[in-house]
């Protein structure tokens, strides 16, 4: 992939760093004043809009479901799972999708990696939808 693409929302600037072999790598940089974690946020409407999120598993080291993890995690991590769910709703087999979110070396920048995409256009469409969903839920 050539030039990177960025989206700016009321939550963050999300940059598509790379797309290669079905793997998307993003940078997530929270906007000033935007929440960094989901602690204290009401996620009910998001889980209603995307009920499949309740079935997500998360290797969080605490043996908690993603539903429980989502109540106190980074918004970037929540975005990862929203992207995974949108990819599954777009027809990709859940068994072929995986993701990870890590804090980057840069202050308050997260790396998000999601695999299982058909092409970059599909990934870009889902990124746009995910950001709109998160904004609509008034995080």
Per-residue confidence (pLDDT) for residue 61, from 0 to 100:
76
Strand order in the sheet with 98-103: 5-8, 12-20, 23-30, 110-115, 98-103
pLDDT reading at 48 higher than 80: yes
**pTM for this model (two decimals):** 0.93
89 in Cβ contact with 82 (< 8 Å)? no
What's the pLDDT tens digit per position in 60-111?
Answer: 777 788 888 999 999 999 999 999 999 999 999 988 999 999 999 888 999 9
pLDDT of 3 reads 61
pLDDT over 70 (residue 2): no
pLDDT digit string, tens, across residues 11-21: 999 999 999 99
What are the structure tokens assigned to 21, written together?
């072999």
CA distance 65 to 106: 29
pLDDT at 64: 81
pLDDT at 1 over 50: no
Given the structure tokens 């499949």, which residue do they identify?
A: 52
Pairing of strands 12-20, 5-8: antiparallel
> pLDDT: is 62 or 2 the higher one?
62
Q: What mean pLDDT, rounded, does the chain reach?
A: 91
Q: What is the pLDDT of residue 137?
A: 59
> pLDDT tens digits for 24-34?
999 999 999 99
Listed residue (56, 116, 53) closest to 90, CA to CA: 116
Query: What pLDDT does 6 receive?
Result: 96
Q: What is the structure's pLDDT at 51?
A: 95
């Amino acid at each position: 992939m050539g030039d990177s693409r960025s989206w700016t929302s009321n939550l963050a600037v999300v940059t598509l760093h790379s797309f290669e072999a079905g793997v998307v790598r993003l940078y997530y940089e929270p906007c000033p004043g935007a929440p960094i974690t989901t602690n204290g946020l009401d996620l009910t409407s998001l889980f209603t809009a995307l009920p499949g999120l309740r079935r997500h598993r998360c290797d969080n080291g605490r043996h908690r479901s993603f539903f429980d993890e989502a109540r106190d995690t980074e918004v970037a991590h929540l975005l990862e799972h929203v992207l995974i769910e949108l990819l599954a709703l777009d027809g990709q087999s859940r068994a072929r999708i995986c993701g990870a979110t890590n804090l980057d070396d840069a202050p308050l920048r997260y790396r998000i990696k999601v695999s299982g995409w058909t092409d970059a256009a599909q990934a870009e469409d889902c990124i746009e939808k995910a950001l709109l969903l998160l904004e609509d839920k008034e995080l």
